[in-house]
Structure 1
Amino acid sequence: MVHRNSSFLDGYHHEPTKVLPFPSQLVYNRVGKCGSRTVVQLLRVLTERNHFSLINSDIHNKTRLNRIEQMELINNISLGDQPYLYTRHVHFLNFTRFGLEQPVYINIIRDPINRFVSNYFFRRFGDWRSEQNHQIRTPGMKDEERYLDISDCILENYPECNNPRVFYIIPYFCGQHPKCRDPGEWALQRAKENMNRNYLLVGILEELEDVLLLLERLLPHYFKDASAVYHSSEYKKLGNGTNTMKKQVPSPEALKVLFQRMRYEYNFYNYVKDQFHLLKQKFGLKTRARAPNKKYEIASQVESPGPSHDDDDNAWLQDIYR
């Protein structure tokens, strides 16, 4: 029999291996004006409750990176204390290109015209918090640009209201390749491929409550109790400040022109919506007809065109928001 000297273990404390959830690396490359500030506020509450690291970048205006910048960002992300959720406005990054493990991605998108309108007025007038604090959004903007009627911007082909500026959502999924910035079939298909291969969930903002329910089931370590927090009175006080100020609806003529410019965006949006509804079905969540959420929709303010000889030509007005 071997007699072990107990003093051999004196002063030694074995640290058990930390068991990490799967996935332990999560990236939310949030799309601008698609409810991301609402979700980030929610994540700040959840990180305390669910014990994960939230790495929230304060860089908002640099979504496209050169190779060195990609490598530096990917290395910095990978050094985060796991489990972590990294979030930033940045186009899709391919970690495997630099020999690192690809994290799991999530994202939320929104009806493209609704997103565009929200961004147009947010750049000019900010949100409720800006209004309350008397902050001027985009201080360097001249008054003739700040108060430019959105319909005039669209119909008179101002750069802000034309391609490639309105080709916005797809590059977040297509990635950093220069062709991802060009409105067309190549970027659209690559965005769909990346979504299918790398994203665990891409939800739609119009059904945010169902997005949170699915995230709770798919990623409980990060999103446990997300729905309860979202509906709590304390959280609603935080969320009320994110509403964009002074939004107006473009004219039906301007909307029609904008829709044509954004046809690739709508192809992708409808594809995402279909995939999201399929995932909801798998988890037993029903997609019901519902009134538009005024916080996220302008559809309720757009009148459907009346009967005319051009009914077929105007059918898009009814289809955009289906």
Structure 2
Amino acid sequence: MQLIELMRQLGKVHNYDVEKDPQNGGVLPILEPAEESDIIENIASLEDGSAFASHVNFLNFTKHDQPRPIYINMVRDPVERVISWYYYIRAPWVFVPGRRRNNREMPNPKWVNTEFDQCVLSGEKVCTYIENSLLEHVGDHRRQTLFFCGHNEAKCTPFNGRLPLQIAKMNVEREYSVVGTWEHTNETLAVLEAYVPRYFADASKMYYSGLHSDVQNSNPMKPHIPQNIIDMLKNLNANRLNNTKDADIEVLFFNRAAKVGSESMLELFMALEQYNDDLTLERSGLHTKTYRQMDKKQRRQSAEYVADLEEGTMYIEHINWLDFDEFDLPKPIYINLVRDPVERVISWFFYARSSYKNAIEYRKKPDQKIRPESWYKKNFNECVRSGDPECQYVPHTFKDPVANFKRQSLFYCGHHDDCIPFNSPTAVQMAKEHVERDYAVVGSWEDTNVTLTVLERYIPRFFRGAKLMYEMHNNKITNRNKNKRKPYIEPEVKDMIRKNFTNEYDFYYFCKQRLYKQYLALNLKELEKHGLLN
């Protein structure tokens, strides 16, 4: 819009008019050959000295035996473009008249108010930029190269693809007089003046006489986007985010954290074992004793057991991260799950009192002393409010009055003494390092589709067909070990204990963001080719 306004002012001086496309600023989609021919003929029929502006992909005048015009265009930083568009279509002066004109319902307030960084981190389709994906039909114009590539849908629409990029480059080199950018205003204006003087003589003078302070189509409502979000979008690469290639053996090691939905993952493993002939589920880890901290001898024994498993084995155990390098052993493919820290401890509180867990316990140890009825009926809200030691999650504590598995990060930190203090920044930092370096995927059932997609693509040997198996066995997977008798927990109570989980939440969000980054970097077109998407 800024360039069009400049041309309009210059046209008054140099005696030419600027004709805009007939769509009132709309964007012409991929055109059929007949449609492309029509618009080319219309442009070619304009008188010499005319200027025509349209949101339309590159038009090949030579292919249609028509005289070639003087082509110009502008480019912008790709990430800044999609952010700008995101907020542009949410501006009331854009969506209100646009929807009224087309008799469309006004948008959901949630859609209008969702910030771009939230949209990216939550993995919403409109903010998910998948390499080589075809048109998403979300209207965000993420393909800047499409305007230079043309109207061949198969060749030009794969997002961030090499072929459309090469075609766009070729067209720019062969057809365009100038492709400028407002990121380099002086250089762009100087080149336009020198290379297209009939239309842009004295463009710099005209621009700085007042147009530069009246930015067309600007959006003052667009907030500041954190640099980490911008950097994340610019640097996503599935290969760099996949640690599966760093494993020494094709053994899947699920050192399952407590109360994250590991029983559901076990059910999925069982379905995958039946579905894939080359997979074996080793169940011995389901019956081992859980230790909060192991000595070196115990760690060696556990690591040696995993390292000796046959390739194609899936192994699951409640055990903290093991350093296979410490014992010069081949490293398996690590996976795990995370869950909202407060929801985890609430889940454990009721799980410990559940009929399911106690039936298992007393079946194993019939003579075990039974707890008093009051313990089973304890109210979590009152437990927190009354200061009951069982429900007081005190930062930096080593010992707990009652076992509660509140340290989610402990499963990723390991067995070092520094891993034990609850909500410790040191423990969390160690856990993050291990996740970043050793874990192929850390998923979450809070984001089921994202997790299954990432597992399928990053660890195909073990998770091919995972989404299909999940759908086929959904009832078993989602209901395994589920406590349907968990009572209502007051939001105020959750807020009270959440204050003591600051570093645990830091770790949780770190893992979730890593998962989203892995998902965003995926090539979903490849998954579709193999029939793994529903």
TM-score range, shorter chain: 0.7 to 0.9
Q: Which runs of 5+ in 1 are unaligned?
A: 1-20, 286-322
1:159–1:128 Cα change, 3 Å: closer
Cα offset, 1:192, TM superposition: 0.5
| CA offsets 1:230-277 (integer angstroms, 9 cap, x no match) | 111x55246434211321233233212210111111111111111111
| CA offsets 1:36-68 (integer angstroms, 9 cap, x no match) | 101101101212322222223112533421111
Aligned equivalent of 2:351, options 122, 132, 142: 122
Aligned equivalent of 1:265, options 492, 504, 510: 504
Aligned equivalents of 1:278, 1:43: Cα separation in 2: 24
Aligned equivalents of 2:335, 2:405: Cα separation in 1: 22
Contact 2:281 2:314 (C-alpha < 8 Å) held by counterparts = yes
Aligned equivalent of 1:218, options 453, 458, 474: 458
Contact 1:106 1:200 (C-alpha < 8 Å) held by counterparts = yes
Contact 1:128 1:241 (C-alpha < 8 Å) held by counterparts = no
Aligned equivalents of 1:146, 1:246: Cα separation in 2: 12
Extract structure 1 runs of 4+ deviating beyond 3 A. 126-131, 163-167
Question: Are residues 1:30 and 2:247 paired?
Answer: no
Aligned equivalent of 1:62, options 281, 284, 291: 291
The aligned amino acid for 2:280 is S
1:221–1:247 Cα change, 3 Å: same
How well do the aligned residues superpose, as a CA RMSD in angstroms?
Answer: 2.8
Q: Which residue is 2:388 aligned to? A: 158
**Aligned with 2:353: secondary structure?**
helix
Aligned equivalents of 1:128, 1:144: Cα separation in 2: 17
Q: Which residue is 1:145 aligned to? A: 375
Q: Which residue is 2:432 aligned to? A: 192
1:185–1:129 Cα change, 3 Å: closer
Aligned equivalents of 1:66, 1:98: Cα separation in 2: 13
Q: Which residue is 2:481 aligned to? A: 242
1:54-93 equivalence runs, <5 A? 54-56=281-283, 57=285, 58-59=287-288, 61-93=290-322
Taking CA–CA contacts closer than 8 Å with sequence separation of 6 or more, which of the two structures ends up with the larger relative contact order? 1
1:39–1:152 Cα change, 3 Å: same
Contact 1:109 1:204 (C-alpha < 8 Å) held by counterparts = yes
Aligned equivalents of 2:330, 2:292: Cα separation in 1: 21
Percent sequence identity is: 25
The aligned amino acid for 1:220 is P
Cα offset, 1:207, TM superposition: 0.6
Contact 2:339 2:444 (C-alpha < 8 Å) held by counterparts = yes
TM score, norm. by length of structure 1? 0.74
Cα offset, 1:23, TM superposition: 4.9
Aligned equivalents of 1:166, 1:229: Cα separation in 2: 30
TM score, norm. by length of structure 2? 0.46
Aligned equivalents of 2:448, 2:317: Cα separation in 1: 19
| CA offsets 1:114-154 (integer angstroms, 9 cap, x no match) | 111111111101459979xx99xx97332221111101222
